[in-house]
Amino acid sequence: MQLHCKNGKGKPMAGARKRLLDDSTGAGLAVIVGLVLAIQGFGSAIAVAIWESDWGLLAVAREHWRLPGWAAYALGGTGLLVAGGGWVWRKVVE
Encode pLDDT of 38-56 as tens digits: 999 999 999 999 998 888 8
Q: Which domain holds residue 80?
A: 26-93
Task: Flag whether 56 is in a domain.
Answer: yes
User: pTM score, two decimals?
Assistant: 0.72
- Weakest mean pLDDT among 1-15, 39-53, 60-74: 1-15
Task: Flag whether 19 is in a domain.
Answer: no
Task: Flag whether 73 is in a domain.
Answer: yes
Separation between Cα atoms, residue 31 and residue 85, nearest integer Å: 8
Q: What pLDDT, on a 0 to 100 scale, did the predictor assign at position 23?
A: 61
Task: Flag whether 82 is in a domain.
Answer: yes
Separation between Cα atoms, residue 41 and residue 20, nearest integer Å: 22
Task: Flag whether 30 is in a domain.
Answer: yes
Residues 6+ apart with CB under 8 A from 36: 79
Dihedral in degrees, nearest 10, Cα atoms 37, 43, 44, 47 = 180
Separation between Cα atoms, residue 53 and residue 55, nearest integer Å: 7
Q: How far is CA 59 from CA 28, 30, 65, 87, in A?
A: 27, 23, 10, 28
Structural domain total, the chain:
1
